[in-house]
Amino acid sequence: MQRTNFGDMACSIARTLDVIGEPWSPLILRDVFAGMTRFEQMQADLGISRKVLTERLNHLVGHGILERQPYDRRPRYEYVLTERGAELVQLLMLMTAWGDRWLAGEAGPPVLYRHHACGEISRPELRCAHCGDPMSARDIDLLPGPGAPK
């Protein structure tokens, strides 16, 4: 995977990739979010190598995305989303929306979202936290922030 260390770059995208950018990591988060929280379940569902699954889970736990909790007196553990992790799920939701739109083809989306607030099947949209209007790539300018390099 990435031999170059993205975590040290002065870029929030690169830093986020350092946490969840490795192959499989987003799919592991998806599984945990969907309720497949145990090692064997994920391994079977994803078809990932056990070695890599171990590495990814440790990485995600280490970065505070998942927590490892025993669920038995035997050495059995399940992984649950932390607050940081739950916020990352928004990214997955947006990835789903993009994939549904551009890659799902004839068959249509494999999964639908029902929104608790309105009870409808819907999809997420990006809006400005300040004014509430839509906020897409064409609607913004980039400015250097306080953490900008130099």
Partner DNA sequence: ACGTGGGGTTCCCTCAAGGAACTTAGACTG
Partner DNA sequence: CAGTCTAAGTTCCTTGAGGGAACCCCACGT
Contact positions with DNA (CB under 7 A) in 9-28: 22-24
Question: What CA–CA distance (Å, rounded) separates 64 from 79?
Answer: 11
Q: Of the two residues 6 and 113, which places its CB atom closer to DNA in the complex?
A: 6
73 contact, one of DNA, its own copies, none, CB 5-8 Å limit per kind = DNA
Question: What CA–CA distance (Å, rounded) separates 36 from 80?
Answer: 10
Q: Give the one residue of 7, 41, 93, 113 binding DNA; rule: CB under 7 A.
A: 41
118 contact, one of DNA, its own copies, none, CB 5-8 Å limit per kind = its own copies
Does 72 contact its own copies by CB under 8 A?
A: no
Give just the sign of the alpha carbon dihedral 74, 67, 90, 54.
negative
67 contact, one of its own copies, DNA, none, CB 5-8 Å limit per kind = none
Question: What CA–CA distance (Å, rounded) separates 88 from 36?
Answer: 17
Question: What CA–CA distance (Å, rounded) separates 105 from 79?
Answer: 33
Q: Give the one residue of 14, 43, 55, 67 binding its own copies; rule: CB under 8 A.
A: 14
Q: How far is the CB of 121 from DNA (least distance, A)?
A: 32
Element (H, E) at 117: none
54 contact, one of DNA, its own copies, none, CB 5-8 Å limit per kind = DNA
- Any idea how long the chain is? 150
The site string for DNA over 62-91 (x = CB under 7 A, - otherwise) reads ------x--xxxxxxxx-------------
Question: What CA–CA distance (Å, rounded) separates 132 from 126?
Answer: 9
